[in-house]
Amino acid sequence: MPRLFLSPSTQEWNPYNGGGNEELYMNRLADAMEPYLRSCGISFVRNDPDRNVAGAIADSNAQDFEVHLSLHSNAAPESRPGSMRGIEVYYSPYSIWSEKLAVIIANNFRAVYPLPDQTQAIATTTLGEVTRTRAVSVLAEIGYHDNAEDADWIRNNLNAIAANLVQSLCDYFGLPFVEPVAVVRGVVATDGSGLNLRAFPAKTARILASIPNGATLTVYGKTGSWYVVTWNGLTGYVAAAFVAI
């Protein structure tokens, strides 16, 4: 299953119009993403909020991740405080996959951002979290936190923004988007044989592991006749007919 390095801003010195700061709200956004990531079968590691950008890049590069996603909000120049709005998703011009992901995210944001014509994907050669990571990386500047309307939109729509971002990741990875449900335990109930844990909800998908009969699973969601589960540190899909909740 795909692995994500999720890197919300650590810039507590960037105040939001109306209270709070960039670190606070981008971490709340990451919190809201977690149930969706689990229900969609995307494993993730979050950055250490006590480390800077260089630390986040080093931590990301120390493991194997398919995507590095940085969450930020923007601010207008000091000469024009509070005057700008919009969403900008930055990608590396040296990676077709980085550009592909940024375009997906920017396009999907148009469904939830109040100014859809002001969402765009932009190439960058200067942002380290885009250009210095081993994983495919994008950095999303989600609105302008010094603008009262954008700041309020972020505060009041964290769950919708989180779902939209995970939908974009699913589109990129080719996974079905699965709404989270209350997390429950399940027990493998077969004729005694192992239950295949697969990388995709299909009988032809790659088998990640064979789960013994009677083993306990954590169930995060359901798509069609498949459960999204975690077992023994692995996340994938199993046939729901062989799991007793």
Residue 46 DSSP SS3: strand
Least confident of 18-22, 76-80, 128-132, 139-143: 76-80
What are the tens digits of pLDDT across the range 12-24? 999 999 999 999 9
Same-domain status, 146 and 199: no
CATH number for 69: 3.40.630.40
CA end-to-end span of the chain, whole Å?
23
Q: Is residue 178 part of a domain?
A: no
Helix (H) or strand (E) holding 223: strand 216-223
The pTM assigned to this predicted structure is 0.93
Which tokens go with 13?
A: 């010195």
Question: Using an 8 Å Cβ cutoff, are 175 and 40 in contact?
Answer: yes
The domain that holds 192 is classified in CATH as: 2.30.30.40
Residue 94 lies in a domain: yes
Task: Check whether 184 has a pLDDT greater than 80.
Answer: yes
Task: Read off the pLDDT of residues 60-109 as tens digits, 9 standing for 90 and up.
Answer: 999 999 999 999 999 999 889 989 999 999 999 999 999 999 999 999 99
CB 217 within 8 A of CB 188: yes
Q: Are residues 218 and 114 in the same domain?
A: no
Residue 116 sits in which domain range? 3-173
Q: Which two tokens stand for residue 114?
A: 């109040």
127, 147, 173 — which closes off a domain?
A: 173
**Number of domains, the chain:** 2
> Per-residue pLDDT for 158 more than 80?
yes
Beta pairing class for 216-223 and 184-188: antiparallel
One domain for residues 56 and 118: yes
| Alpha-carbon gap, residue 15 to 176, rounded angstroms | 36
